[in-house]
Amino acid sequence: MWENGQGMPGSCIDFKIANIIIRIETAQPVEICVSDPAYESFISEAAREQGSDLELKVDLDGLPDLRGMSSFGDAEDEWDIYTRDGDYFVIKKQYRADIQPLWVLQLRSDFERGTLYCRPEIAEAAQNDGLLENPLCYPLDTTLMMYRLTIEGGVIVHAAGIEIDGRTYIFPGKSGAGKSTISRQFSNNEDVICLSDDRIIVRKECGHHIAYGTPWPSDVQIAINRGAPLAGIVFLSHATENSIRRITSAEALQRFIPTVSIPWYDRQASDMILSFCDGLLSSIPLYEISFCPGPEVADFFVDTFRKHI
């Protein structure tokens, strides 16, 4: 049992996502539980010895007063973001304006600390049952990582991702681009390790771009806690036969940027992400694969990259 700074019993859980350790702590004697299967492999027992990169305290005493805060406006369809004294407040929208949000994330300006506030009935249920469902849920988790990655040097990309012979390839695309389709084909190939069917994190570590699986899967439910050096960014195109070609960074840019999580409402953060994307596309091989959905596409891709590229 973890104890807080006052010697009171609390609980603590560590997640390791893209080699970034996020620690969630409660001061109250409630256990944080994880029922989402996608998050299970991202729980890190070893992180307790390493310390955390980002520490979140769970506050079960109610939601913060949001009056007097500056709003960025409608940040996204499903969440709003406010600022006060340099801190960010991320709030999941409700279907009615008179309903309080389930959770509010307060993120410090250093992106190393934060507080998760919950609605009173969640706190009451947690204290009665002694269990609190993992509060690191959408959209708080992706927003949290998006901002943390601005200082780490990295981005969240809407992409499927695979590993072949210790190298990763990502397949960026919006909904309908074919990420789920090609992930299903790769999942049946014994030479391929599928990392994710929907979101990949790319970071630059020790001079190398590394692609990681994330706990945010889509239809195929692929979410693997694993990463390896990025060897190629591959854009998908449906066709009647399989083929692959190299493309320029200028061609890739207009297709890549719409797949990256960018807070356009926040000029400083968006500039940092765009700068990272420019360096990424300038240093990683870029391809377009025209594919016909079917089991042959996985073999075609593996053979092509092993033998010819």
Q: Which pTM was predicted?
A: 0.93
Residue 306 has phi, psi (to 5 degrees) of -75, -35
- The fold of the 153-307 domain, in CATH, is Rossmann fold (3.40.50)
Percent pLDDT > 90 in the chain is 72
| Pairing verdict, β 286-291 and 243-246 | antiparallel
CA–CA separation, 53 and 93 (whole Å): 28
What is the predicted pLDDT for the residue at 309?
Answer: 64
What is the predicted pLDDT for the residue at 260?
Answer: 98
What is the predicted pLDDT for the residue at 192?
Answer: 97
What is the predicted pLDDT for the residue at 51?
Answer: 82
CA–CA separation, 285 and 278 (whole Å): 13
Kindly list the domain boundaries of the chain, sorted by start residue.
2-149, 153-307
Say whether pLDDT at 22 is over 80: yes
- Which tens digit of pLDDT belongs to each residue from 273-306? 999 999 999 999 999 999 988 888 999 999 999 8
User: Residue 171: what residue type?
Assistant: F
| Pairing verdict, β 131-133 and 31-33 | parallel
Please list the alpha-helical segments (H only) found in the chain.
37-40, 47-50, 120-129, 140-152, 179-187, 249-256, 267-283, 296-307
| Pairing verdict, β 199-205 and 154-164 | antiparallel
Q: What pLDDT band is residue 10 in, cutting at 50, 70 and 90?
A: confident
Structural tokens at position 140 = 């708080």
Residue 283 has phi, psi (to 5 degrees) of -120, -10
Q: What pLDDT band is residue 5 in, cutting at 50, 70 and 90?
A: very low
Greater pLDDT, 67 or 249? 249
- Which tens digit of pLDDT belongs to each residue from 227-276? 999 999 999 998 999 999 999 999 999 999 999 999 998 999 999 999 99
Say whether pLDDT at 9 is over 80: no
For residue 279, count other CB atoms closer than 10 A to its CB.
12
Going through the chain in order, the beta strands assigned E by DSSP cover: 2-3, 9-17, 20-26, 31-33, 54-59, 70-71, 79-84, 87-92, 103-107, 113-118, 131-133, 154-164, 167-172, 193-196, 199-205, 208-213, 227-238, 243-246, 286-291
